[in-house]
């Protein structure tokens, strides 16, 4: 009995660590794609400067936060920042794990009432479209098709080049932040 409980606790901690790591990756990748992709830039142009977006796991789980900069791109912030203009709350760490391990798409999670939106619904739809486009570029097609409702028509060279640019920008932004912190 005690071994089962310890095993369950270890699995829960591993899932929480995975979700926290993926939230950072997704947040930084959204920052990167907002700097690289014209379609994402058009999608995000509807948001005013300093618009903040957050995605958090309830009740006090990991999350991400982004702020729209003057140039129209997003800047990754600490998830512990103040209130956001738009927050998508994922109701449980297990739901977040299923989404971020690509077992369940964002659309399916919304349909199954696993998320709550605090803010304008049309803004949430824009952010979900941005997330879907991001996933189409950075995930292998097989995973992306499971993660998003409709896979966009992008060519393999476009996917490879844009995916590489996004990953390079994520790494560059992360290293830049580390240098500033040191």
More confident call, 178 vs 38: 38
Question: What pLDDT score was predicted for residue 174?
Answer: 81
Q: Is 102 helix (H, G, I), strand (E, B) or coil?
A: coil
CATH number of 26-172: 3.30.1050.10
Position 111 pLDDT exceeds 70: yes
Q: Is 181 helix (H, G, I), strand (E, B) or coil?
A: helix
What residue spans define the domains of the chain?
26-172
Mean pLDDT over 95-124 rounds to 90
Question: What pLDDT score was predicted for residue 80?
Answer: 62
Q: Is 157 helix (H, G, I), strand (E, B) or coil?
A: helix
* Angle, vertex CA 127, rays to CA 145 and CA 112, nearest 5: 60
| Residue 88 tokens, joined | 């998508």
pLDDT in tens, 10-28: 888 999 999 999 999 999 9
H helices, E strands: number in the chain: 7, 5
Q: Is 153 helix (H, G, I), strand (E, B) or coil?
A: coil
Position 56 pLDDT exceeds 90: yes
Nearest to 163 by CA among 127, 143, 133: 133
- Alpha carbons within 13 A on the beta-carbon side of 35: 21
More confident call, 176 vs 99: 99
Residue 182: which pLDDT band, with cuts at 50, 70 and 90? confident
């Amino acid at each position: 009995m005690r071994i089962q409980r310890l095993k369950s606790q270890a699995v829960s901690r591993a899932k929480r660590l995975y979700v926290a790591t993926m939230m950072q990756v997704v947040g930084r990748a959204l920052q990167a794609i907002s700097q690289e992709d014209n379609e994402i830039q058009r999608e995000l142009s509807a948001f005013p400067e300093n618009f903040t977006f957050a995605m958090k796991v309830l009740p006090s789980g990991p999350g991400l936060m982004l702020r729209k900069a003057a140039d129209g791109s997003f800047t990754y912030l600490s998830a512990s920042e103040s209130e956001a203009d738009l927050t998508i709350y994922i109701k449980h760490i297990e739901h977040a794990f299923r989404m971020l391990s690509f077992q369940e798409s964002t659309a399916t999670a919304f349909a199954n009432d696993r998320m709550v939106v605090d803010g304008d619904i049309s803004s949430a739809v824009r952010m979900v479209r941005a997330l879907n486009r991001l996933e189409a570029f950075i995930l292998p097609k097989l995973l992306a098709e499971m993660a998003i409702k409709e896979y966009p028509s992008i060519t393999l060279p476009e996917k490879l080049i844009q995916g590489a640019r996004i990953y390079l920008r994520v790494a560059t932004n992360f290293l830049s932040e580390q240098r500033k912190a040191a």
